[in-house]
Amino acid sequence: AIQLTQSPSSLSASVGDRVTITCRASQGISSALAWYQQKPGKAPKLLIYDASSLESGVPSRFSGSGSGTDFTLTISSLQPEDFATYYCQQFNSYPQWTFGQGTKVEIK
């Protein structure tokens, strides 16, 4: 099974900071990667699909990049509403799907 490893597991940042989260796959997954944002007590919300495609309605400060085994989610200027946990997910190995362990973004 393909495993996804996110780093860091948590980070502290200030409003306006540039934040980068990494997701590494245990084997190549082409561009079959999505990113989700989850706030406490809420369902995950799709941000990015196909590694770099921005979901409609998601602010342009979010961007994704990468292919193969190494991927990044970047928030160009962190806003108060961005404090949340972020998950990557691979959908290359149908019919098995896996998530990274999550990255919690906290206020510094």
Partner 1 sequence: QVQLVESGGGVVQPGGSLRLSCAASGFTFSSYGMHWVRQAPGKGLEWVAFIRYDGSNKYYADSVKGRFTISRDNSKNTLYLQMNSLRAEDTAVYYCAKDRRAAAGNWFDPWGQGTLVTVSS
User: Which residues of the chain form contacts with partner 1 (CB under 8 A)?
Assistant: 34, 36, 38, 42-46, 49, 55, 87, 89, 91, 94-102
Compare residues 17 and 104 and give the one whose CB is closer to partner 1.
104
Compare residues 17 and 45 and give the one whose CB is closer to partner 1.
45
Compare residues 17 and 99 and give the one whose CB is closer to partner 1.
99
Q: At closest approach, how far in Å is the CB of 13 from partner 1?
A: 20
74-102: burial string, b at 16+ Cβ within 10 Å, e else: ebeebeeebbbbbbbbbbbeeeeebebeb
Instruction: Give 69's contacts (C-beta < 8 A, 6+ positions apart).
Output: 24, 25, 26, 27, 28, 29
Q: At closest approach, how far in Å is the CB of 69 from partner 1?
A: 18
**Contact between residue 86 and residue 105 where contact means Cβ atoms under 8 Å apart:** yes
Q: At closest approach, how far in Å is the CB of 20 from partner 1?
A: 20
**Token reading at 77:** 């200027």
Compare residues 17 and 93 and give the one whose CB is closer to partner 1.
93
